């Protein structure tokens, strides 16, 4: 009996911890190269060191600001990992997005500087092909690389022809994310060399939207110093983070919403969605690190009951609503959060919450002020 009791206590103590592990969005951050593979060599620093540093800074920014996003790194230390294993990590963890971080090099033209973001495809210029060759040649350091990569020769232009025939279902989202990254780099005063395509092996094997970022040219003295500096690394990580935030708010949800709403075209539903979306749009444009709700305001607080969260937009007649009508929603961190009821009277909303907890046992009350969700 006592043993059963203590087991129960342990289980109860574990429950919140297990719950906290349930994340809604999984991001894999891949710091290029590592270990015996230094990547491009600079005169002050090697590429692998810059990549890892920016990758960890990016991951920290995301983890600090988003409770529901799980960040997985392909490496957190200076170690060697094969390109296919990097993709496997992302595939195994069922990631929603893959970001590979690299630094560029061009020995012949050391004056060249700037950022580029690659998506998978056939290189449209020799310059882009050279990037793919350099990044893919990391496989030459892997054991049995001929077998693993089906005799793909990273240095032969012919082996890249296959990328012209490849279909990638995640192309659109990858382009959208890549464009946001370049926009953000430009905003951070980096030279924007644009979104490009190339036959990058690490992107070929990943089954989700993905990009490969070239932070800058290690062969350019000024840019190398910038990428080596803590300040430079912080700014680069911040720029990618800002683009990531835009992506999950603007595109990640919308993609899913577009597929879902096409199944249930309902005008009434649409107008409702628009009105409920407005406050969340305002909330999402404010940086999450600040707390606008703490500011004094004469406007009333509106209480709602959150009943469930979904990655995808649910149709109005979804079974998940258990027959409840007039379910509203707001978007947060790339998720649809469904609410029931709306009142400025906390007592009445508390009573409603208690009632519906028999159907939605995890229902809880949230508050909005000036259209922004309060902490
Ligand atoms: Zn690289």
- The end-to-end CA distance of the chain, in Å, is 42
Q: Which pLDDT does position 272 carry in this prediction?
A: 30
Q: What is the 192 CA–ligand 1 centroid distance (Å)?
A: 18
Pair 171, 244 in one domain:
yes
Note the pLDDT tens digit of each residue in 172-187: 899 999 999 999 999 9
Q: How many residues does the chain have?
A: 375
Q: What is the 41 CA–ligand 1 centroid distance (Å)?
A: 10
Mean pLDDT of the chain: 81
Q: What is the 163 CA–ligand 1 centroid distance (Å)?
A: 19
**DSSP assignment, residue 248?**
I
Q: What is the 38 CA–ligand 1 centroid distance (Å)?
A: 9
Is 10 within the bounds of a domain?
A: no
Q: What's the rounded mean pLDDT across residues 60-72? A: 95
* pLDDT of 68 strictly over 70: yes
What are the Cα distances from residue 259, in Å, to 53, 65, 207, 232, 352? 37, 28, 19, 40, 33
Q: What is the 228 CA–ligand 1 centroid distance (Å)?
A: 15
Alpha-carbon dihedral of residues 301, 304, 309, 312, nearest 10 degrees?
-90
Q: What's the rounded mean pLDDT across residues 231-248? A: 97
Total number of domains in the chain:
2
- Point out the domain boundary residue: 251, 281, 303: 251
* pLDDT of 131 strictly over 50: yes
Q: What's the rounded mean pLDDT across residues 92-115? A: 96
Task: Of 44-53, 188-197, 202-211, 322-331, give the lowest mean pLDDT range.
Answer: 322-331
Q: What is the 112 CA–ligand 1 centroid distance (Å)?
A: 17
Give the DSSP letter string of 269-305.
HHHHHHHHHHHHHHHHHS-TTS-GGGS--SSPEEEEE
Q: Which pLDDT does position 271 carry in this prediction?
A: 29
Q: Closest by alpha carbon to 161, among 172, 153, 170?
A: 153
Is 312 within the bounds of a domain?
A: yes
Q: What is the 154 CA–ligand 1 centroid distance (Å)?
A: 13
Pair 203, 72 in one domain:
yes
Q: What is the 69 CA–ligand 1 centroid distance (Å)?
A: 26
Give the DSSP letter string of 121-182.
S--SSHHHHHHHHHHHGGGGGSTTHHHHTTT--TT-GGGGGGGGT---TTHHHHHHHHHHHH
* pLDDT of 317 strictly over 50: yes
Q: What is the 345 CA–ligand 1 centroid distance (Å)?
A: 57
* pLDDT of 299 strictly over 80: no
* pLDDT of 360 strictly over 90: no
* pLDDT of 298 strictly over 80: no
* pLDDT of 308 strictly over 90: no
Q: Which pLDDT does position 5 carry in this prediction?
A: 63
Q: What is the 75 CA–ligand 1 centroid distance (Å)?
A: 14
What are the Cα distances from residue 219, in Å, to 41, 60, 126, 232, 236? 8, 28, 18, 16, 18
Pair 241, 282 in one domain:
no
Give the whole-number percent of the chain exceeding pLDDT 70.
79
Pair 274, 245 in one domain:
no
This prediction has a pTM of 0.64
Q: What is the 129 CA–ligand 1 centroid distance (Å)?
A: 13
Is 219 within the bounds of a domain?
A: yes
* pLDDT of 321 strictly over 60: yes
Which residues span the domain enclosing 41? Answer: 23-251
Pair 180, 274 in one domain:
no
Q: Which pLDDT does position 8 carry in this prediction?
A: 63
Q: What is the 250 CA–ligand 1 centroid distance (Å)?
A: 29
CATH code of the domain containing 220: 3.40.630.40
Q: Which pLDDT does position 276 carry in this prediction?
A: 30
- Point out the domain boundary residue: 203, 229, 251: 251
Q: What is the 131 CA–ligand 1 centroid distance (Å)?
A: 8
């Amino acid at each position: 009996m006592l043993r059963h009791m203590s087991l129960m206590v342990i289980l109860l103590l574990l429950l919140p911890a297990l719950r906290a592990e349930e994340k809604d969005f999984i991001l894999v951050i891949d710091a290029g190269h590592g270990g015996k593979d230094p990547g491009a060599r600079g005169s002050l620093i090697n590429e692998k060191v810059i990549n890892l540093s920016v990758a960890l800074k990016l991951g920290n920014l995301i983890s600090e600001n988003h409770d529901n996003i799980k960040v997985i790194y392909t490496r957190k230390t200076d170690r060697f990992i094969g390109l296919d294993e990097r993709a496997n990590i992302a595939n195994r963890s069922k990631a929603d997005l893959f970001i590979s971080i690299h630094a560029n090099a061009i020995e012949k033209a050391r004056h060249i500087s700037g950022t580029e973001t690659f998506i998978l495809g056939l290189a449209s210029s020799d310059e882009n092909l050279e990037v793919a060759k350099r990044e893919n040649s990391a496989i030459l350091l892997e054991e049995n690389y001929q077998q693993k990569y089906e005799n793909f020769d990273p240095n032969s232009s012919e082996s890249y022809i296959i990328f012209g025939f490849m279909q990638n279902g995640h192309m659109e989202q990858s382009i959208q994310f890549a464009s946001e990254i370049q926009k953000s780099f430009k905003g951070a005063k980096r030279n924007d060399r644009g979104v490009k395509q190339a036959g990058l092996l690490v992107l070929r094997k990943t089954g989700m939207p993905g990009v490969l970022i070239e932070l800058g040219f290690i062969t350019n003295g000024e840019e190398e110093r910038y990428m080596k500096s803590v300040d430079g690394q912080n700014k680069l990580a911040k720029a990618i983070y800002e683009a990531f935030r835009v992506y999950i708010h603007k595109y990640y949800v919308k993609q899913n919403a577009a597929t879902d709403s096409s199944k249930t075209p309902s005008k009434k539903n649409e107008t409702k969605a628009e009105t409920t979306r407005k406050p969340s749009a305002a909330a999402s444009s404010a940086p999450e690190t600040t707390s606008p709700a703490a500011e004094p305001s004469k406007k009333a607080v509106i209480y709602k009951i959150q009943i469930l969260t979904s990655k995808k937009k649910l149709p109005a007649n979804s079974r998940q609503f258990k027959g409840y009508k007039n379910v509203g929603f707001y978007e947060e961190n790339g998720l649809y959060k469904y609410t029931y009821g709306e009142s400025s009277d906390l007592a009445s909303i508390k009573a409603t919450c208690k009632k519906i907890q028999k159907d939605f046992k995890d229902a809880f009350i949230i508050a909005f002020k000036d259209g922004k969700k309060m902490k």
